[in-house]
Structure 1
């Protein structure tokens, strides 16, 4: 159950960050900051929920997938 919680949080947070990341030029300082912005949330959550170290590659993959999907989704906005 703990692995599922960390996985969902990692994916959702990175979906949002991926959406925000597209506003910045690739390889700029802010682009790098946004890519790594989920780490201060995911790492303590993973440690607090005591997930095994062997699940770290899964969380990294979910972070990358979330960033990619988040940057490619057409998000609905309140503007018309």
Structure 2
């Protein structure tokens, strides 16, 4: 691969860095940081929201305790179905 002479490999090489106003650059960088801080919620806020959502989802479910009384009829039907599938 050859490049023609006089062509910069990087776009930044084409700009004169002395022509950039350092004060304007600093202000723009500071503004970017401030904008980012305002738009991004803090980790504490995110975890609090996440916990609230999780709690709401968990409340939608009904907790059923296991009983020791198993329905033998269901067990027999399931066993018959499994045996029929094997044949």
Higher RCO (CA < 8 A, seq sep 6+)? 1
Q: TM-score, normalising length from structure 1?
A: 0.29
Q: Which has the larger radius of gyration?
A: 2
